[in-house]
Amino acid sequence: LRSVPFEKVLSGVEVEGVVKDPSPGKRVYDPSNPDADKDGYITMPNVNIMEEMVDMIGTERAFEANTTSIKAAKDMALKAIDIGRQ
């Protein structure tokens, strides 16, 4: 993801691209699993849950910071309008 000017799009964020991770998943011995191969192994996804959670929390914090700054800019603009009316 990358930030873009609000004049360009309303959302302010757009997906720049998707990158496939070629690393293999972890092989786990589980012969009772219906997805097991002939040797009794299944391949688990190569997703690191902790890394994904950290990325999600960082993104959430950035979103909150952006929302706060937009609200502050709005409040200042409204205050300037009020001062101009006096």
**What digits encode the pLDDT tens for the residues 36-75?**
999 999 999 999 899 999 999 998 998 899 899 989 989 9
What's the number of domains the chain is made of? 2
Same domain, 42 and 69: no
Same domain, 82 and 53: yes
pLDDT for the residue 10: 54
The one-letter code for the residue type at 60 is: E
Same domain, 40 and 57: no
Same domain, 11 and 36: yes
pLDDT for the residue 85: 87
Containing structural domain, residue 19: 1-46
pTM more than 0.85: no
- The 10s digit of each residue's pLDDT in 8-19 is 545 566 778 888
Q: Quick count: other Cβ atoms within 10 Å of Cβ 30?
A: 13
Residues 65 and 45: their CA atoms lie apart, in Å, by 32
How far is C-alpha 47 from the geometric centre of its chain's CA atoms?
A: 15
Residues 61 and 84: their CA atoms lie apart, in Å, by 35
